[in-house]
């Protein structure tokens, strides 16, 4: 039995990473999965773009110009509280992940990452956001 095709783009996803190859890979991944995907190379452009398109999820790298990923997550959550952020970094140190969560990241992922895992994280956050918008309380387990 074939699944019915999706009729149009779903939620908007923002990718903020200084590596052009990562940005392009993620744009292709999300667009192939029918998300509206946009990207920026630094924190300033990322914030401006987020304010314009109001994405459901922002995937933010640690090492970006314009103040860094953790500061961008903090600023996004302050000005766009409905956005969900995924923090990514190639660093192993737990304090980077702790700082990102404290800044308001909803999830984290370490580079190099499994693209299917990242996609699953995005899908989970999009669904959580939809439920919260409908007023459905979601218990964390």
Asked whether residue 128 is domain-assigned, the answer is no
CATH of the domain at 56: 3.40.50.2300
Q: Sort residue 68 into left (φ over 0), alpha (ψ -120 to 50) or beta.
A: left
Burial (CB count within 10 angstroms: exposed 0-12, middle 13-18, buried 19+), residue 103: buried
Count of domains for the chain: 1
pLDDT of residue 10: 84
Asked whether residue 88 is domain-assigned, the answer is yes
pLDDT at 51 over 70: yes
pLDDT at 21 over 70: yes
pLDDT at 106 over 60: yes
pLDDT at 137 over 60: no
Asked whether residue 131 is domain-assigned, the answer is no
Bridge partners of 12, per DSSP, are 36
- For residue 37, the enclosing domain spans 12-118
Mean of all residue pLDDT scores within the chain: 91
- SS3 of 18-60: the string is CCHHHHHHHHHHHHHCCCEEEEECCHHHHHHHHHHHCCCEEEE
């Amino acid at each position: 039995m074939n699944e019915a095709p999706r009729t149009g783009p779903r939620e908007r996803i923002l990718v903020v990473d200084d590596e052009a190859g990562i940005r392009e890979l993620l744009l292709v991944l999300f667009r192939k999965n029918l998300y509206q995907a946009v990207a920026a190379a630094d924190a300033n452009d990322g914030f401006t773009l987020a304010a314009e398109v109001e994405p459901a999820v922002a995937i933010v790298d640690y090492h970006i110009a314009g103040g860094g990923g953790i500061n961008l997550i903090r600023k996004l959550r302050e000005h766009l509280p409905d956005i969900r952020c995924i923090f990514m970094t190639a660093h192993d140190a737990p304090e980077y992940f702790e700082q990102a969560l404290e800044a308001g990241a909803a999830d984290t992922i370490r580079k190099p990452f499994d693209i299917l895992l990242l996609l699953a994280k995005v899908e989970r956050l999009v669904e959580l956001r939809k439920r919260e918008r409908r007023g459905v309380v979601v218990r964390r387990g």
